[in-house]
Amino acid sequence: MTSAPLVSVIVPNYNYADVLALCLRSVQEQTYSPIEIIYVDDCSTDDSVRVAESMGVRVLSTPRNSGVCVARNLGVAHARGEVLFFLDSDVALAPDAVAQAVELLRSDPGIGAVCGNYEPVPLRRDSLVKEYRTLYRHYWYLVSEGPIKGFLPVAIIAFPAAVWAEVGPWTAELTQSEGTDVGERLAERYTVLLTSAVRGRHDDDATLRVALRKVFTRTRVHVPFFLQPRYAPGVVGSPESAASLAAALAAVTVPVPLLTGSAWTAALPVLLFATWLGIDRRMYRFVFATRTPGFGVFFVGMHFLVNLTIAAGAGVGILQWLTSRSFRRMYAKAPA
d(CA 157, CA 9): 10
d(CA 307, CA 16): 28
| Nearby residues of 222 by Cβ (< 8 Å), 6 or more positions away | 177, 180, 317
How does 173-193 read in b/e, with b if 16+ C-beta sit within 10 Å?
ebeebbbbbbbbbbbeebbbb
DSSP string, 221-260: HHHHHHTSTTTHHHHHTSHHHHHHHHHHHHHHTTTHHHHH
Q: Mapping DSSP to helix (H, G, I), strand (E, B) and coil, where does residue 329 land?
A: coil
Spatial contact of 176 and 217, defined as CB atoms under 8 Å apart: yes
Q: Mapping DSSP to helix (H, G, I), strand (E, B) and coil, where does residue 13 land?
A: strand
pLDDT digits (tens), the chain, 336 positions? 558 999 999 999 999 999 999 999 999 999 999 999 999 999 999 999 999 999 999 999 999 999 999 999 999 999 999 999 999 999 999 999 999 999 999 999 999 999 999 999 999 999 999 999 999 999 999 999 999 987 789 999 999 999 999 999 999 888 778 888 898 889 889 999 999 999 999 999 999 999 999 999 999 999 998 898 888 888 888 889 999 999 999 999 998 877 776 767 778 899 999 999 999 999 999 999 999 999 999 999 999 999 999 999 999 999 999 999 999 998 875 554
What is the pLDDT at residue 336? 43
Instruction: Tell me the residue length of the chain.
Output: 336
What is the pLDDT at residue 335? 52
39: phi then psi, degrees, rounded to nearest 5: -95, 125
d(CA 42, CA 14): 5
d(CA 97, CA 38): 17
What is the pLDDT at residue 233? 81
Q: Mapping DSSP to helix (H, G, I), strand (E, B) and coil, where does residue 180 land?
A: helix
What is the pLDDT at residue 246? 96
d(CA 143, CA 204): 20
What is the pLDDT at residue 286? 98
Angstrom CA distances, 39 to 22, 31, 77, 253, stand at 14, 20, 12, 50
Tell me the sheet residues that pair with 199: 117
Task: Give me the helix-helix angle, 179-187 and 208-226, nearest 10°.
Answer: 40
Nearest partner of 237 among 222, 226, 250, judged by Cα? 226
d(CA 150, CA 231): 8
Exposure on the CB side of residue 326, measured as CA atoms within 13 A: 1
